[in-house]
Amino acid sequence: MDKKTPLILITNDDGISAPGIRTLISVMTQLGDVVVVAPDKPQSAMGHAITINSTLYLNKISKNGDAVTEYSCSGTPVDCVKLAVNEILKRKPDLCVSGINHGSNSSINVIYSGTMSAAMEAGIEGIPAIGFSLSDYNWDADFEPTKPFIKQIAAQVLEQGLPDGVLLNVNFPKLKQDEIKGIKIARQAKAMWQERFDKRQTPHGKDYYWLTGEFVNQDHGQDTDEWALANGYISVVPVQFDLTAHHAIQQLNTWNWNE
């Protein structure tokens, strides 16, 4: 095997100055050459949005000679990956890691998450990719306990690669390092957000809304990411971007489509 130093692309959705991405950078510099391309402002809940109707800016943040090359980008997390791959990196990276997200991206949150969309975009481009999230929304969250696990998971993906069309969604419980029981490979729990809109009025008398909501886990399986997190484990869900419900094709073929 080629012993060249791995090239690792790092992005996130909380913005380039978030503590979570700083932790991720500190771990990844132990594993390879690191290039960071991350949004210049928070882009949470952007899903897989891309910027097609406005311009994109890249700003080089790091100075020549810095150990890590860093760019901020005016676009979404997915834009960051596309720009990195096409405009910044001289070769396809060996790994793309996204996060560490401030807040969980387990279960259905994978759909809304900018962190996971960036990892998915890398996966679509054929790059082994991992999204990391910590179940703690605080800006001052303690990311220290995640470090050895992130290093182990990333090192393993660098060594073994990932199955074709698959990326990893890794979520950490909010626990101290010695309280973490280990890693569980899991499936996405069946859960959803029960929305509640907070309806208010502007000072000028116009109604407006804030989206709020409560996370509802309807899934009692012990093989889910939610179960793993609630029981002290780190959840690792293999995620795919082939959204075809293959099991439903046969059933739909029994319908009367062409009469």
Q: Residues comprising the binding site for a divalent metal cation?
A: 13-14, 44, 101
90 forms part of the interface with a copy of itself (CB under 8 A): no
Give the residue, chosen from 64, 91, 160, 214, that forms a contact with a copy of itself under the rule CB under 8 A: 160
48 forms part of the interface with a copy of itself (CB under 8 A): yes
**How many whole angstroms separate alpha carbon 41 and alpha carbon 164?**
32
Give the residue, chosen from 178, 199, 205, 214, that forms a contact with a copy of itself under the rule CB under 8 A: 199
**How many whole angstroms separate alpha carbon 53 and alpha carbon 66?**
34
If the CB atoms of residues 25 and 120 are measured against a copy of itself, the closer one turns out to be 120
85 forms part of the interface with a copy of itself (CB under 8 A): yes
91 forms part of the interface with a copy of itself (CB under 8 A): no
251 forms part of the interface with a copy of itself (CB under 8 A): yes
216 forms part of the interface with a copy of itself (CB under 8 A): no
Give the residue, chosen from 106, 117, 135, 146, that forms a contact with a copy of itself under the rule CB under 8 A: 117
78 forms part of the interface with a copy of itself (CB under 8 A): yes
**Helix H or strand E encompassing 251:** helix 246-253
Write out the binding residues for a copy of itself, residues 121-140 only, by CB under 8 A. 124-125
141 CB-near residues (< 8 Å, 6+ apart): 19, 20, 102, 134, 174
Going by C-alpha positions, the residue among 178, 193, 181, 158 that lies closest to residue 235 is 181
Judge whether 107 and 73 are in contact, CB under 8 Å: no
Give the residue, chosen from 4, 176, 204, 246, that forms a contact with a copy of itself under the rule CB under 8 A: 246
Going by C-alpha positions, the residue among 238, 2, 16 that lies closest to residue 129 is 238
Give the residue, chosen from 10, 97, 110, 175, that forms a contact with a copy of itself under the rule CB under 8 A: 110
204 forms part of the interface with a copy of itself (CB under 8 A): no
If the CB atoms of residues 138 and 163 are measured against a copy of itself, the closer one turns out to be 163
Give the residue, chosen from 187, 215, 217, 230, that forms a contact with a copy of itself under the rule CB under 8 A: 187
If the CB atoms of residues 6 and 238 are measured against a copy of itself, the closer one turns out to be 238
**Helix H or strand E encompassing 240:** strand 233-240
| Other beta carbons less than 10 A from residue 50's beta carbon | 16
| Other beta carbons less than 10 A from residue 250's beta carbon | 8
* Strand bridging mode 7-11 / 182-185: unpaired
